[in-house]
């Protein structure tokens, strides 16, 4: 089954163009959202992903209608793979279509880039922690602050929060809002979020 997904950013915009393209592509079901791409919760997308099963293809008009970020795109592709489903992007003319060898290669590269990004963040997190300790900034919660893996998770949560908002962060990390806020507070105790960010991206 071909399952379509369409999204526009505001209620003033129209879905007609995307829906027509999805129908022309042969989609049996079409789910829609009228919401900003940076918003974490998208009911239409969630329904589309829940609808896919073995042998189905999720079809979108353009890639930016689907994912908020590269990491989000990889998460969606992994969800589809787990359900033995595929993804097809109409405007790429088959280039981004996981039912084809070339499409699988493209999305495989995306997955490698996302993994590389996570590894870089992990390495620089450790470097940032060492730098913070050298400055005498140990923070107030040793059980959290001195655990590099925990700090890495906290920093990744903060980066995800910046890109996707609190609701999406709570859902992804399966923590309460209070816990997520406590994580960010602990990051400030290490040497401030702003200073850690500079160590991550310099």
Give the residue numbers annotated as catalytic, written as ranges: 9
| 30-58: b (≥16 Cβ within 10 Å) or e | bbbbbbebeebebebbeebbebbeeebbb
Report the candidate in 64, 87, 91 with the shortest Cα–Cα distance to residue 9.
64
Give the DSSP letter of residue 64: G
Residues linked to residue 97 through DSSP beta bridges, in sequence order: 88
Residue 76 in contact with residue 87, Cβ under 8 Å?
yes
Chain center to CA of 96? 18
């Amino acid at each position: 089954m071909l399952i379509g997904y369409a999204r526009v950013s505001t209620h003033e915009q129209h879905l007609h163009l995307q829906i027509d393209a999805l129908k022309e592509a042969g989609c049996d079901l079409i789910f829609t959202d009228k919401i900003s791409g940076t918003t974490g919760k998208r009911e239409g997308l969630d329904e589309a992903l829940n609808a896919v099963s073995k042998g189905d293809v999720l079809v979108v008009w353009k890639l930016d209608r689907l994912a908020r970020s590269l990491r989000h795109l990889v998460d969606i592709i992994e969800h589809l793979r787990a359900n033995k489903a595929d993804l097809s992007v109409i405007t790429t003319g088959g280039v981004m279509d996981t039912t084809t060898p070339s499409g699988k290669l493209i999305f495989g590269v995306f997955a490698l880039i996302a993994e590389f990004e996570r590894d870089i963040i992990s390495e620089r997190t450790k470097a940032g922690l060492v730098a913070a300790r050298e400055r005498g900034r140990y923070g107030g919660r040793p059980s959290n602050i001195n655990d590099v893996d925990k700090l890495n998770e906290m920093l990744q949560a903060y980066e995800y929060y910046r890109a996707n908002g609190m609701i999406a962060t709570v859902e992804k990390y399966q923590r309460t809002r209070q816990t997520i806020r406590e994580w960010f507070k602990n990051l400030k105790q290490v040497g401030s979020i702003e200073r850690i960010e500079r160590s991550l991206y310099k």
